[in-house]
Structure 1
Amino acid sequence: MLGCGSGRPAPSGANRYLRQASESEKLAMEYESQKKDTEALSMYRDALEKIETGLKYATVNERPPFRTIKERVEPKIAELEMHEKLKRDREEAARKKAEDEKKVAALGKTDASKDEDAKRKAEEEAKKKEAEARAEQMKKLTEEKALKADKKAEEHEDDPHAKTDDAAEKKEEAPKPPPGPFKVYGENEKPPRLSVDKVEVRGEYLYAYIQVYNDSAKNMRIARPEVTFTSFQDVDLCPAEACFQYSVFDKTAVDPLEQARGAITGGSHEVFATSAFQFVAIAKNKEKASRTRKAKVQIAFDDGSTWSARGPEDAKPATVDGLPGL
């Protein structure tokens, strides 16, 4: 049961803008493959307009696919705009060259060297404009990549909103962590507020993957998580030694208990309104590893509430010394 609080918010209706943006993007790609850059640019701009409109109505959980398309479309628009500008510059240079030739003819100048000089100057001017346009475009793309990299780095911080008291802004910028080993719920499914989605053993290390869902309209700060690894029959085996935010967890670390960031301590993390928070609990216990099949978790929040759960539901019994079901 989810306890108090409202149910999961109804779909915002933003998905129709997502569908329209996807259709415009596909059509733009078709035009681009046919070398119809003007038509392709128009459809990419239309897709971006749909994305910008959809983002105004989309909930936090609905935004990732909008941003994915936006990251594909924006560079395409910049590239095609550059091509259009270069095309206009070439046409302008050709027009100017034709006008110069007409002027020379009207004045009765037949000096071949003067004609060649005018032609050379026109070509040099066109090349100069093209080089300037390319340099400006490269500068723009570099700045955009740097901004995106900075944004991703900010989203990976333990508490990306530690320096602001604006609750509305916190809700607006709440990052959605990757699914990983966690259960994924459909648009019309209501996830449990706390669940142990997976327990696994790697050598002497025990891992429990836990998901918290806050369906209320306010953020909830975690005061203290307590995780205990258990057998299939829910016999306590050993407590978790540390818990880490999953989105920044280094899965390649030699010692998974030694993490550079993401450790969950008293008040270090919060679960954003109408959002999910995922973390991994770890213990090192070679003796208990073969019997570990489940975990139980209890989370205390700063508001005084406490949630608890155990799982996963699909855990299978272990066999130790020929005795099944331990």
Structure 2
Amino acid sequence: MIANPTRSTGEPGEFVTVVTAKDIVADNVAVVELEPAKGERLPAWTPGAHLDLVLEPDLVRQYSLCGDPEKPGSWRIGVLREAGGRGGSIHVHDRVEVGDKIRCRGPRNNFPLVTASEYVFLAGGIGITPILPMIAHCTARDRPWSLVYGGRSRGSMAFLDELAGYGDRVAVRAQDEHGHIDLAAALGEPRDGVAIYCCGPAPLIAAVEEHCTAWPDGTLHVERFRAAENVLDGEHTAFEVVCDYSDMVVGVPAGQTIVDALAEAGIEVPTSCREGTCGTCETVVLDGVPDHRDSYLSPQERATNEVMTPCCSRSLTPRLVLDL
């Protein structure tokens, strides 16, 4: 069963960083090193955290921190170039250069490492990035762990040299050599005290979710880079949003999102992904029943209807009252 432990809350700070290194470490994977601009101090972070990179005023993207949390003087991210993406990765690959200044927000941790007696890590492709600091954390504290890392080919898989230092605790499964990851072998039998962490493409996450249905509640933790399949589908009816703090009532027509309707009324809600995966727009619900269409909140959080992601979710009631 999917677990989504307590996440960091509150508005993250904004910092100016300088690109101190940029290297292509695998096919279409760039690793970027960031250090604070003069007079800045980077905040601490924990394994699983990500940054918001403000690449342009209207181009903000999230990238997992994959460096060492014990070294607060710099940040490291890995970025996969996606030709069919939304423009952020191409911007990083084609336009970001050493010496550039980049505004960052965060770090924010929506994928925190929980306490467990054993850890099983499953990563696909660029999904290795949030896992790297997790296994370093577990190693430093002598906690049992294993990692299965899959990719199309070894040439497409970043950080293999770094992972080689962990020996046989890491199983590299390039698809052109081994086929798909053998999840039954990687996971073993359901048991108590295990935390399973998975990050990667949607088919891998879906397969892991299916394998973990028999595991104890709270075992599986996932992070998605894209919205889950079909989650954004559904009927688009009109409804009203009451902004409790602003004392405004805003109509949301059938063809418009909540955040766009609010923006037209002069109420700006911070957004980034616009598909319910990053949590930037998470908003408290005071009354009404949201139509949750995100891939960010846990099933338990959706069931409470206490928060929602207005970038993509809608309403099952004629009126929603939000803490805006």
**Would the TM-score normalized by the shorter structure come out above 0.5?**
no
Rg comparison, structure with higher value? 1
| Superposition TM-score, scaled by structure 2 size | 0.25
Under a length normalisation based on structure 1, what TM-score does the superposition of the two structures give? Answer: 0.25
Which structure has the highest helix share of the two? Answer: 1
